[in-house]
Amino acid sequence: MLRSTILAAARNRRIQHLVTTAPVSRGVVHRFVGGSDTDDAVRTTRELVEDGLCVTLDHLGEDTTDRAHAESVTSAYRRLLDALHAAALTERMSTLTARAEVSVKLSAIGQALGADGEKIALDHAREICAAAEHLGATVTLDMEDHTTTDSTLRILTELRADFPATAAVLQAALRRTEGDCRDLATEGSRVRLCKGAYLEPESVAYQKRQDVDLAYVRCTNILMRGRGYPMLATHDPRLIAIGIDRAAYHAKAPGKDFELQMLYGIRPHEQRRLAEKGHTVRVYVPYGAEWYGYLMRRLAERPANLAFFGRALTTKG
């Protein structure tokens, strides 16, 4: 009930206005969003890389219904990649691009633009992938609600023909995902496994937290058995421990054959601890002005995150 209420609020314009204009919201944004512009994103990336972490950057915004907006989002990713490269050269910090990638929501670059949406999104994604490859970075295609899954996987297949390092995201909450894991657990295939942050009908998705967790473990086993590169996105200590155990069982080496992923601002000390133990830990860093929908989905994904956000409102830094 709480999850559905939060997701409903995510699309309520009146609530959005109240939250985004409230002075107290600045504390939440500072803690869980990597900044409002490209310079902020580069600064945050630099800080995380210096702490031994990897980064994936998400330019906030989705559900684009205007082609010009889709083109502006694509340009924003180009500017981000160029800025990371420039900073790496200026500061002689080659790891800045080598340890960074971008996460792209296809809905933000045109996927929802009618009959031509898939082609528009593919063309824009190609542009971003080419820019990333030129600079030694990579791209992950974020997964959104279940109505876009087939389209996203088709675009992924097209992109991988020229940019094989392009990563997929699969959501354990969807009933179909075990099959998708089998299809994608191939040589060189990078797959981020998350629980899923969208409100989906019971016909396509598990509804109970325990069922989602069990599905996550089953999907983890499939990916670890495969020849791809699993990327386990979770903050749940139990699932992290299971993932590390399954990796060891299938002879996947820490820091080489798989990685762990967490959100910016959540369990930062654990992120550094795992990195110090030799694991590749990638931090998902959202940046940009359109932060409201992102934070609401994080709350819905795990309502216990309310505690994290609440503390951000009452503590400094």
- 190 catalytically annotated: no
DSSP assignment string, 10-46 = HT-HHHHHHHHH-TTHHHHHHHHS--SSHHHHHHHHH
Give the mean model confidence (pLDDT) for residues 8-35. Answer: 58
| Nearest Cα to Cα of residue 35 among 308, 312, 306, 285 | 285
pLDDT of residue 253: 98
User: What average pLDDT is seen over the chain?
Assistant: 87
What pLDDT shows up at residue 12? 52
- The torsion angle over the Cα atoms of residues 263, 266, 272 and 273, rounded to 10 degrees, is -120
**Per the residue annotation, which of 58, 142, 180, 213 is the catalytic one?**
142
Checking if the pLDDT of 257 tops 90, the result is yes
Cβ(271)–Cβ(259) below 8 Å: no
Say yes or no to pLDDT of 264 above 90. Answer: yes
pLDDT recorded at residue 43: 95
pLDDT in tens, 147-172: 999 999 999 999 999 999 999 999 99
Q: Which long-range contacts (CB under 8 A, 24 or more apart) does 195-199 make?
A: 195/171, 195/234, 195/301, 195/302, 196/171, 196/172, 196/301, 197/171, 197/297, 197/298, 197/300, 197/301, 198/7, 198/144, 198/145, 198/146, 198/171, 198/297, 199/3, 199/4, 199/7, 199/300
Catalytic (active site) residue 192: yes
Q: Tell me, what's the pLDDT at 300? A: 63
Q: Residue 285: which of 123, 75, 86, 84 has the closest Cα?
A: 84
210-222: pLDDT as tens digits: 999 999 999 999 9
Confidence of residue 28 (pLDDT cuts 50, 70, 90): low
**Would you state the pLDDT for residue 307?**
58
What is the pLDDT, as a whole number, of residue 25? 52
pLDDT over 80 at 315, yes or no: no
* CB-based contacts of 245-252 (< 8 A; 24+ apart in sequence): 246/220, 246/221, 249/224, 250/224, 250/225, 252/224
Q: What is the pLDDT of residue 94?
A: 78
More confident residue, 92 or 54: 54
Mean pLDDT confidence for 39-55: 96
pLDDT above 90: residue 278: yes
| Low-confidence winner among 45-54, 278-287, 301-310 (lowest mean pLDDT) | 301-310
Residue 88 buriedness (CB in 10 A; 0-12 / 13-18 / 19+): buried
The Cβ of residue 30 has, within 10 Å, a number of other Cβ atoms equal to: 14
**Mean pLDDT score, 245-273:** 96
pLDDT given for residue 181 in this prediction: 98
The yes-or-no verdict on residue 4 having pLDDT over 90 is no
**72-88 pLDDT tens trace:** 999 999 999 999 999 99
Q: For position 16, what pLDDT does the model report?
A: 45
Q: Which pLDDT band, with edges at 50, 70 and 90, does 204 fall under?
A: very high
Residue spans of beta strands (DSSP E) within 143-237:
168-171, 190-194, 229-233
Rounded to an integer, the average pLDDT of 126-150 is: 96
- State mean pLDDT over 8-25: 50
Q: Alpha-carbon distance 193 to 172, whole Å?
A: 7
Higher pLDDT, 64 or 13: 64
At residue 20, does pLDDT exceed 60? no
Residue 259's SS3 state is strand
* CA distances (Å), origin 176, targets 18, 173, 179, 204, 297: 37, 9, 6, 7, 21
The SS3 assignment for 311 reads helix
Share of the chain above pLDDT 70, in %: 81
Active-site entry in 31, 192, 298, 302: 192
